[in-house]
Amino acid sequence: MQRNHILKTIKVLPKEWSLSFDIMPLGKVGRSNYANVLKVLNMNNHSQPQNTTLALWFPTGKTSIQFCFPVYSKSCFTSDSLPLYRYTSVIIEQVPVVYGNQHEYRIIIDKKVVYSSLNAKAISLSNVTVYDSDPWNAEANAIIKNFDIYLGTKPNQLQKGKVLDVIPILPKVWSLSFDIKPRATMFFDLKTALPGKSNSSKASLVSFSIGT
């Protein structure tokens, strides 16, 4: 990682977005301050670098990541320690929820949701800069690859057994909506159907289940 390195500039950051990357720690920070991994900054006021939308840090002597972000008031979450010399996948996203005018802010590490919180005050931002180590702090001793940021609601590739969401309480009144783009037709050949087996000519799109 290199201090003051800009990964991306964004004219408008909408309420819905998804940021992902792989990170490999190369060592622990031995200084008295935190080392910056990544920072998403609203640059409308260049003289105030504290206008931070998202900041990731390595605490002193650790390879865990501290995520700081504005949900209601400024909040922080610290992950478990990441293994040295091995890539770990990280996804941070803000997505709309199906009930109420709210958004869900969540952190996913190696395909596991480790943090989730509702954000009732999500806003769009203009003139946003993404650093992998900002100009004001020490850089983290790590390598980042496969950085990507998706603006808007990220489409879901259909995958067998994939859980889209877990809802603690489903009220009596609810609404489910989505856009779908077929990529191919399903081919079902009666000649290859196995006798005595369940051979369905239907492909599942969405399914609700109760419990585990």
Q: What is the pLDDT of residue 99?
A: 62
Bridging pattern class, strands 17-25 and 142-151: antiparallel
Q: What is the pLDDT of residue 30?
A: 63
Which DSSP category does 82 fall into?
Answer: P
Q: What is the pLDDT of residue 31?
A: 62
Please check whether residue 115 is in contact with residue 3, taking contact to mean a CB–CB distance below 8 angstroms: no
Residue 62, Cβ neighbours under 10 Å: how many? Answer: 18
> Mean pLDDT, 10 residues at a time, over the chain (212 residues)?
85 91 88 82 59 84 89 78 96 81 88 88 86 86 93 69 76 81 49 48 70 62
